[in-house]
Structure 1
């Protein structure tokens, strides 16, 4: 048998293909060439980058997201951003961007857009509930629903004693960010329900009619609501308050807040206090759900005598459901009692929601310069489903008749 030597076996082993040999032989050389070209390219790119940095303008400041779901993508330039939702939204969007750390403003911004998405076909966002109880349209979609709607309509089958929301007070609990007492406040506080979606104003003052708030007296003078607030489909609260500056350009946002009251699982057993804080203030809204209510609308007339001009009248109502919480009808901070040509007293607020199986107490008093109560008188009313009842007040030789108009509520 023939024996092959190791050298012979090596010589007889198959040789690699020309292609394999080329790749194997050229790999180190190719890698070195690529590395040299990459080094030269990096050097040239670095020099070009330095030239561009020397001639390029300064980059625009970055825009931080407000957390709003409506915020545009970062790559869109601020000048090309489009804000939808109706007239006035561009100014609101700018304020949100300028005050990005204020989550309250972003929340109000989102509330407006969401409201426009749902109800813009039914009403305009800026629409306000009119206060004229004698004129209203038949078309319920566009109707401006007044108080005393069913006072003279006892047979209305769709009028019932539904739950309602009672607003008691709005108070500025704290001011911050360089603000000092006293402050001059203007703006509005409103509630929207499912009847007409309009702003049912609780407080409303223009810049030329500010209310002065002090550390000792920081609650707003409420002038509404102008009709009951239906506690169905979760009513919305809206707060937009400003502090007046020396010039209009120096006005500052005190509170810009919106929230929804989830009343579906509320039994009305307690008074609610909603606190909203931002960098400039802390505002508290006090309200409650009143179950199975009727609407009480007040009218007061002087029938004999007159009130001493040095005394300030104070009328307030309370109900059986929350007897210790007051609805102020005539605020003493408004000064002397104003009487019209037909002897009607101009009330600060005239509508209160009352539980139909409870009671309504009206208290009238007069305050002197030391805020001491001089005379005081009280009337108790039993709620009615419709019609009118009268009562009489004798306040320091000034006799007045109080007429209460009762009305059930309607959901349409």
Structure 2
């Protein structure tokens, strides 16, 4: 991730994480992204890295064909070095450092800042080393199959219209819910605008399954106010491995820090899943342009966890020529014996919900189901395509 400050006013981000960032404004902790892994998505959330090698477990990533996120999660980014300066002692009239050991208050501050920067530099070096090792080990195992930068070409809905496919099953899958920038450091200020990519890899083809992907000219803003402009910097460069074979089905949070940020990714291993691919289409009336849409899904097994399909901070509803609503992301993994609820909200400029409507679906092994959202200004149909998962 990269960072740079922004002078324009935007609202906090919550849909997808980002690699690069721009920083500005007042300092406060802000949730960065509500991301999920879903095949066929071009956007995503931020991830971290660990010292583990890629897990041998069968993991399906929910960004490609809807199959949940993978055992390997990476965040790549580049940026200019920080411009933060260390305090320096000067002449006596300005507060000279006294004594060989530096006994003055200024000397103590200088020493403390120097020690802090040493720790920060070590953290950044360690993060970079882990990212390098991840790439090196991946190339060692899978370079004969693909290049490290290759993006998965496995589509969603592979078995929606093939209910009798012998190799398709209801498999355990990892679902990524969000990536959050919990803290920024090293002189960065809110808001920050992030860009770059977040990707997950799984057992299907080991290629990048993008859950977030934005260029520098299409940043995601993580807070609301901008004051000054700073140069681009690496916010986060992480990679970590998750072993599905040894995991339970509880929500997990992986957190990592470097000299500029603390980032947290929230995910869970979901048992016996099918892929749900969403399509939303207007059928009557038109959306009130003064209102912002908030569409999110939740499941019976983890009702408190929201999977954002359309984030209000992305702006007004965007509708194509055939009345299809452009979603932030459209594929999730759902437990086949559970339930799926889609909630749609309309928010005003004060972020107050002025209308809310829900539709509940019973997961299927294949085929399609329609549901309806009834707003005061318009009606929409929600089409859900179901598919079992396969690794071939």
Shorter-chain TM-score bucket reads 0.5 to 0.7
Q: Does 1:408 align with 2:385?
A: no
Moved over 3 A (4+): 98-101
Q: Deviations 1:164-197 (Å, cap 9, x if unpaired)? A: 1101000000000111111121111111001111
Q: Which residue of 2 aligns with 1:336?
A: 316
The residue that corresponds to 2:149 in the other structure is 126
Shift, 1:339, TM fit? 0.3
What does residue 302 of structure 1 align with? Answer: 282
**Structure whose alpha-carbon radius of gyration is higher:** 1
Q: After the TM superposition, which residues 6-17 of structure 1 pair with which residues of structure 2 at under 5 Å, given as runs?
A: none
Residue of structure 2 equivalent to 1:178: 187
Q: CA RMSD in A?
A: 2.1
Q: Compute the displacement of 1:100 (Å).
A: 5.6
**Are 2:291 and 1:311 aligned?**
yes
Query: Could you tell me which residue of structure 1 aligns to residue 333 of structure 2?
Result: 353
Unaligned runs of 5+ in 2: 1-50, 52-76, 82-119
Q: Give me the TM-score of the superposition, normalised by structure 2.
A: 0.67
Partner residue in 2 for 1:188: 197
Counterpart in the other structure of 2:260: 280
Of 106, 112, 124 in structure 1, the residue corresponding to residue 135 of structure 2 is 112
Are the equivalent residues in 2 in contact too, given 1:245–1:251 (CA < 8 A)? no
Report matched runs for 1:4-403 at 5 Å.
101-102=123-124, 103-129=126-152, 144-214=153-223, 250-268=231-249, 270-403=250-383
Query: How many angstroms apart in 1 are the aligned matches of 2:268 and 2:164?
Result: 29
Q: C-alpha displacement at 1:294, in angstroms?
A: 0.3
TM-score by length of 1: 0.64
- Shift of the 363–121 alpha-carbon distance from structure 1 to 2, 3 Å rule, reads same
- For the 8 Å contact 2:191–2:222, the answer to whether it is kept is yes
Quote the offset at 1:245 in angstroms: 6.8
3-state SS of the aligned residue for 1:274?
Answer: strand
Q: Whose relative contact order is higher, 1 or 2, with alpha carbons under 8 Å and at least 6 apart?
A: 2
**Alpha-carbon spacing, 1:189–1:349, altered in 2? closer, same or farther (3 Å):** same
Return 5+ residue gaps in structure 1 as ranges: 1-67, 69-90, 130-143, 217-243
Higher fraction of helix: 1
